[in-house]
A and B are shown apart, each in its own frame.
Chain A
Amino acid sequence: MSAGDMTADKDLCCCGSDPILCEFCTTNDCCQPTQSMANRIKRRLSLRQVFFICLVFSLPMLYMMVADLPGGHWTAFLLTTPIMLIGGPRFFSSGWAAFKNHKANMDTLITIGTLTAYFYSIYALLAHEHVYFEIAALLIVFILLGQVFEELTKGRASQAVEKLLHLQAKDALVVRGKQEVRIPLADLKVGDVIIVKPGEKIPTDGEIVSGESYVDESLVTGESKPAHKQAGDAVIGASLNTTGAFRFKATKVGGETLLSQIVELVKQAQTSRAPIQKLADSISHYFVPIVLILSIVTFNIWFELVGVPLNIALLYAVAVVVIACPCALGLATPTALMVGVGLGARRGILIKSGEVLEKAKSIKTIVMDKTGTITLGQPVVTDVIGDHDKVLAIAASLEQQSEHPLAKAVLEAAQKLKLDTVKSFKAYEGQGIGGVIGSKKAFVGTADLLHENNITITDETETDWQRLQSEAKTVVGVASGGTLLGLIAIQDAPKASSREAIALLGKQGYETIMLTGDNKATAEAIAKDVGIDRVIAEVMPADKANTITKLQTKSHHVAFVGDGINDAPALATAHLGIAMGSGTDVAIESGDIVLVKNDLLDVARALKLSKKTFGRIKLNLFWAFVYNLAGIPIAAGVFASAGLTLNPALAGLAMAFSSVSVVTSSVLLAKVKI
């Protein structure tokens, strides 16, 4: 009878078709078992169910350790046997299968330990000697308990990142012809125009075509402050629209989106190798057979040299077998890596592999690109001398027709001002621009341009001009009707967080260097402003990688921070390349660490996280080694003369929890503040 039939006959069945109870069911034909008990159990019972069943049988055994139960040894035999049959097979079959492959694992150790205790006890039962059924029973229960815990904690360690993908929108409201249709995410195509209503998830990556809103991108970039988005701005799939509404055109769909790429990258990083693991790997190959040999040696020493009775010598041998825990060594690295990398990903810090952690640890010098990394990468108006609105309005009116990069900065600053129309506009190459506003001739430009047009610069204005220039700003004069109205200073200003970030890096003991193509004076001024240690100026973009190489020959362990697109060669050359992105433009393939958010503070956070994760791996490995190095001698009875011995069941408990403690230590890494 198949499982399906049994379910169908459930109401008629004596035991509700419970697969376990069914096995013992004799009164009804409905559950005539057709498969061996072991097979059914293997197929049907989860780890937790097996654990609870075994636990129930073992509770009276725990009681037996302190008091007698009716039936004595025979009761112990009857309680232990089901545990061996229900809880044992998962270890025995695996241990045997491994053995046939010339391999040995934790299951080999558990199998040998429990079967030795069990069969010796059956012999002792018949020979009327002391029995050790409780050791076999409790060993299995304790190890199952350890595995239940491990399953729980490991689940917590690994699920964090994949969860991100589940947070995507399930469908999208798109414009098809004149209609609005809701379609599943999978049917979305590049070029689709998607409508996003207040409070909705943005279904995919794209560019806003109309409307505006504040968008919470924290899920993807880790930036907690909602960003203002309007037509032309990029939006990231899976970020959350707040109160506004807008339409955007899909630029990337499916596996191409930033979120999908991040998840893929993180999964790869989590499974990557960390060189530090090599030692543990090579040990694990020899570990179990050596423990078996040690256990035989232990038995011989106690039995032959010390001369204790056979059963006592056997207990020491069993304790040695079951206390050894190769798993803790194996789990130490991957679990910490998984948690550390996952933690970074949620903050917009993508660590590419386990190897990166080791590189990050030895970094002494951090070289940063200037434009776009330390600074905003966009010139802005920083100072206006004279009547603020009037000076800006005249300058902006003229600049409306200019294509100069600085024009954008002036227009942005004058956004709220009313601009006039300009007649007979003229651009003076390398000097500025001019035109007629109303009936007055107006100019924006250099001192030379003003002199040529007979406009006098007062001594006071001259001083301001000099001062602003010494602050690494580009200064232009604004004149109208033959008089100088004021000055405008423009600068590619440092990002708000740059100063704090560089101070933080300095405090963490790194030397900071700014690398830029700018002239020395401008570079020095910016460096002074943000507090950077050293400046290497006037470096052509193509020479950035060479500069890094030169620094590295002086045995500096150098990290380079730059944008992933223009600085790819320098990122690849440095010991550690940290690529900074902004939104969807993240060049995810460049660099060892990718920062999704365009914020220099994340450099300090990324380095700190790398160090913490690597530290945790070391701690885990250390603990796993020490546990085994200390545990095996104790179990072998080396300290027996000092009264320190270990019951084999407790040895099994210690072994089960040494792996749990390693996994827990990794999970706790998630609590680290970065």
Chain B
Amino acid sequence: MEQIIIALISSALIGAIVWWFFGKHQTEAVSAEVVGNLQKVEIVVEGGYKPEVVRLKAGVPAELTFLRKSASSCFDEVLLPDFGKQATLLVNEPYTFTIQPDKIGTFTYSCSMRMFFGKIEVRP
């Protein structure tokens, strides 16, 4: 009896893991706020990048501000290879990148261990 219960719980757990991590979940996408010839967006770094997808308007200089809230060493650095940028983030100290999103497309950025990814969508 005990064995059956454990087996059932285990199967349920595995199912839950698959659904939670691999299932389709809506990801938040936020468009940057355009003020004059500048667009700004803030990304909170806590267990991932929030919002995970930011939309930028092509051709307008953009300020991406990363605010790291998590002390986990996973988030010590953030890399934006498509824009040739990289920075060390300190907890609760915002860091702002200024990038020029000229190319249209979707670009990914990540933590230095490449476990967490965020996306920058550049649209016309």
A residues apposed to B, CB below 8 Å: 42-43, 47, 89-91, 93-107, 147, 150-151, 154, 264, 267-268, 270-273, 277, 280-281, 284, 286, 288-289, 292-293, 296-297, 299-300, 303-304, 326-327, 330-331, 334
Contacts and interface: CB of A to CB of B under 8 A. Distances in A.
A454 to B, nearest CB: 70
A450 B122 CA distance: 72
Contact of A42 (B3, B48, B71): B71
Given A94-B47, A106-B74, A304-B6, 5 more contacts: A101-B50, A103-B48, A267-B86, A268-B84, A292-B17
B111 to A, nearest CB: 8
Contacts of B92: 43
Contact of B7 (A100, A277, A304): A304
B31 interface: no
Contacts of A43: 91-92
Interface stretch (B18-26, B58-66, B98-106): B18-26
B8 to A, nearest CB: 11
Nearest to A659: B113
A296 B11 CA distance: 9
B37 interface: no
A296 B10 contact: yes
A326 B112 CA distance: 12
Contacts of A284: 113-115
B14 interface: yes
B112 A289 contact: no
A151 B74 CA distance: 11
Contacts of A96: 47
Interface of B: 3, 6-7, 10, 13-14, 17-18, 20-23, 25, 46-48, 50, 52, 70-75, 79-81, 84-86, 91-92, 112-116
A247 to B, nearest CB: 36
A107 B72 contact: yes
A43 B69 CA distance: 10
Nearest to A265: B84
21 contacts: A43-B91, A94-B71, A94-B75, A96-B47, A97-B48, A98-B48, A103-B21, A104-B21, A105-B115, A150-B73, A280-B114, A284-B115, A289-B18, A289-B22, A293-B14, A293-B18, A296-B10, A300-B6, A304-B6, A330-B115, A331-B112
Contacts of B23: 102
Query: Which 9 pairs, one residue from A and one from B, show the smallest C-beta to C-beta distance?
Result: A97-B47, A94-B72, A268-B84, A330-B113, A98-B47, A101-B48, A289-B21, A271-B86, A330-B114
B47 A103 contact: yes
B19 to A, nearest CB: 10
The secondary-structure label for the interface of chain B is: mixed
Nearest to B92: A43
A91 B71 CA distance: 8
A346 to B, nearest CB: 19
The secondary-structure label for the interface of chain A is: helix
B99 to A, nearest CB: 12
A270 B48 contact: no
Contact of B21 (A42, A102, A154, A264): A102
Contacts of A327: 113, 115
B115 A106 contact: yes
Nearest to B48: A101
A334 B47 contact: no
Contacts of B75: 94
Nearest to B9: A296
B53 to A, nearest CB: 12
A397 B46 CA distance: 78
B10 A300 contact: yes
A337 to B, nearest CB: 10
A297 B13 CA distance: 11
Interface hub of B22, B70, B84, B113 (most chain A Cβ within 10 A): B113
A93 B73 contact: no
Interface hub of A47, A97, A107, A293 (most chain B Cβ within 10 A): A97
A412 to B, nearest CB: 43
A107 B113 CA distance: 13
Nearest to B71: A90
A151 B73 contact: yes
A289 B19 CA distance: 10
A277 B6 contact: no
Contacts of B6: 300, 303-304
A98 B113 CA distance: 15
Interface hub of A43, A150, A284 (most chain B Cβ within 10 A): A284
A106 B75 CA distance: 12
Given A97-B47, A271-B85, A47 B73 contact: yes
A292 B21 CA distance: 11
B85 to A, nearest CB: 7
Contacts of A150: 73
Contacts of A268: 84
